[in-house]
Amino acid sequence: MSRSESLAAYFRAQARRRLDRVESNDAGRNARSALALLDAAAYAAALPDDDPLIERLAEAGCFGAPGGEDGFVFDPGPEGTRMVRLWEGGEPRELILALPTVAATTA
C-alpha cells in the first residue's frame, strides 16, 4: 500500500468509526464527520506519493516503515488521531496540512 493509499484507508476507517457511534441527540455530528472523512479519503487517495502534502506527513513521522503486503501504515500519533476523530468538516487539504504540525508536537 502506498502512502496515499494508507492515508486514505486511515480516513475511511475513522469515518466507519464515526458511523458506528450511537449518540442520542448528536444533531447529525457523527454523520457530518463521517462524510467529511470520506471526502478526505477520496482526496488523499488521488494524491501521488510525491505530493508535498504526503511528503510533509512522511517527514513528520506519520508513516511506519513499509513492510510486507501492507506497505506503509499511517499513524498520526495520539493528538493527530484526536484531531481526525473530532473533524467535522472543511477542506480535506486543511485536515492533511494540520496533521504534520500536530504529529510533530507529540513525537
pLDDT at 95: 95
Which amino acid, residue 27? A
Q: What angle do CA 78, 81, 85 make, to 5 degrees?
A: 140
Q: How many domains does the chain have?
A: 1
How far apart are the C-alpha atoms of 39 and 32, rounded to whole Å? 11
User: Per-residue pLDDT tens for 28-84?
Assistant: 888 899 999 999 999 999 999 999 999 999 999 998 766 656 678 899 999 999 999
**CA-to-CA distance for 20 and 24, rounded, in angstroms?**
13
pLDDT grade, residue 21 (50/70/90)?
Answer: confident
20 band by pLDDT with thresholds 50, 70 and 90: confident
* Residue appearing with cell numbers 462524510: 35
Read off the C-alpha cell for 64: 511506519
The boundaries of the domain holding residue 65 are 3-106
Task: Determine phi and psi for 74, rounding to 5 degrees.
Answer: -85, 130
Higher pLDDT, 7 or 1: 7
What CA–CA distance (Å, rounded) separates 95 from 64? 20
